[in-house]
Amino acid sequence: MYFNNLDWFIIGFYALGLIILATYFSRTPKGEERSAEDYFLAGRSLPWWAIGASLIAANISAEQIIGMSGEGFVVGMAIAVWELTAAIALIIMAKFFLPLFLEKQIYTMPQFLEQRFDYRVSLVLSFFWIIVYIFINLTSVLWLGSLSINALTGLSVEYGLVFLAIFSLAYSLSGGLKAVAMTDIIQVILLIFGGLSVSYIALNLISESTGTIQGLKIVYEQMPEKFDMILSSDNPSYNALPGIWILVGAGVWIGHFAYWGFNQYITQRALGAKSLKEAQKGVMFAAYLKLLMPFVIVLPGICAAVLFPLLEKSDQAYPSMMTLLPNGLLGLTFAALIAAIVSSLASMTNSVSTIFTMDVYKTFAKNNPSQSTLLKIGRSSALLSVVIAAFVAKPLLGSFERIFQYIQEFTGLFTPGILVIFLVALFWKKATALSVLTAAITSVVLSVAIKIGLPDLAYIHRMGIVFFMSGLSCYLTAMFQGMKVQEKAINLSDIDFSTTKAFNLNWLVITIILIITYIILG
């Protein structure tokens, strides 16, 4: 449709090169048997740059590139709050959560909960995450990715789904986390280059080749409201991003800490680190990359509001912008979009297989399974998860116009309870298995009740209310059980939370950058 032979060559070269590189990293030395730790946690050998790149590659996918660009088209730069403030959440995760998880030598988040509470809590959270990863995360990435392929190549949505599913499995199924993480540095370079290229070409076009700065001035003059970082109450999107509360309210931070601190397909990269210091360096690298994301993802959507103001759906913004690119660069940028999609798919399927194998299968296995059996189960569950997601993607998401908001709304039903569970597991010695299960149930029931009873209440406000009520239900349950220090409680005095001077300095630098950004554009 828009591609010529050069574009197709670049895309084919990228796909083949990625599979070859992943195969190289998937090798097992002669005479050695690959263990579950090798497959699910890369043998706990990941360097900082692979961790940082893989965190971003796992996070930034079709729902961000397509969905958040679409929100940039509708809302503007205010939607970048989820990217910018994530940098702070990443740093807090590295300082206060990672030392505890790496000390426990865990594979999964549910495994940590089993160590702290019991297998009931672990199984509940295992099934929850498997369902969410398959029916929310995998389906949204596959659906939005296939829509982009359809818009740019004319390939049917169904064939696009199949292509993405097969491609993601082709380079990740054999090698596991190591194959994914070690190739993600290429994915992230392509992702950033592609997004910045789209922004550069668009701004240059808007300025009639007088430069990107001039283009940015024109966009600002035509649509100054798109650069408001904090929306006023009369903005049509205020309910989704309610003014100053998007920064100081509990809701956005509940979402961040639950996602970056306790989400399996995010934390799994850090769990595979060589050491705690290496993991913290990787997370700090990811925090800096987060500061670039508004230019990579949101700015193209804002430019689309100038160049393509009559789009039928906001999620068409980024694919429409890509049509402006010259051949060759179009192929490379399309490869970047595919890179973001398949890296996230690979990360999610690897996490589904890790949780299912290590937390579900091992719990119900009659005998202690061998390493080869664990690997077979892991690969089979990864394959099955992608197949299911591909089949249900269109029926679930085909009717939604703003899928990013759908994802935020749906996950917001569960996120407050998840955060309560992990925070009390880590930092409150009197939390019991029953108390956290009560918090989980309270979170879901109360979220649904408020959603139905107060449909106009901003979902981040709802998350804040539900978080505090779930925490209260947890506290009251523990109180009724006698408020006793639990035998499996974590002794925080045994954990080293200290960080290097470089880490602390970079934390300060990132915080200052964010404060200045919101002062200037707020």
Write out the two tokens for 160.
């696009």
List 273's β-bridge partners, or say none.
46
φ, ψ for residue 46, nearest 5 deg: -75, 135
Write out the two tokens for 187.
């994915």
Rounded-to-integer distance, Cα 12 and Cα 6, Å: 10
List 46's β-bridge partners, or say none.
273
| Global pTM value | 0.86
**Pair 392, 384: CB distance under 8 Å:** no
What confidence score (pLDDT) does residue 502 get? 94
Rounded-to-integer distance, Cα 274 and Cα 45, Å: 4
Helix axes 264-271, 276-293, angle to 10 degrees: 130
What confidence score (pLDDT) does residue 472 get? 97
Domains located in the chain, CATH noted: 44-364+371-404 (1.20.1730.10)
DSSP 48-85: HHHHHHHHHHHH-SHHHHHHHHHHHHHT-GGGGHHHHT
Rounded-to-integer distance, Cα 446 and Cα 50, Å: 40
Going residue by residue through the chain (522 aa), what tens digit of pLDDT does each one get?
Answer: 578 889 889 988 888 888 888 778 777 666 666 666 776 676 677 889 988 988 888 888 766 787 788 888 988 898 988 899 999 999 999 999 999 888 888 888 888 899 999 888 889 889 888 988 898 888 888 887 888 788 778 888 888 888 888 888 876 666 677 777 777 788 888 888 888 889 999 999 999 888 889 999 999 999 988 888 888 888 888 877 888 888 887 878 998 898 898 888 788 888 888 889 999 999 999 999 999 999 888 999 999 999 998 888 887 888 888 888 888 888 888 888 887 788 788 888 888 888 999 888 888 887 888 888 888 888 899 899 999 998 888 887 765 655 656 666 677 778 899 999 999 999 999 999 999 999 999 998 999 999 899 888 887 888 899 999 999 999 999 999 999 999 888 888 888 888 999 999 999 999 999 999 888 876
Q: What is the separation of C-alpha 113 from the centre of its chain, rounded to a whole number of angstroms? A: 21
**Pair 77, 228: CB distance under 8 Å:** yes
Write out the two tokens for 398.
């085909």
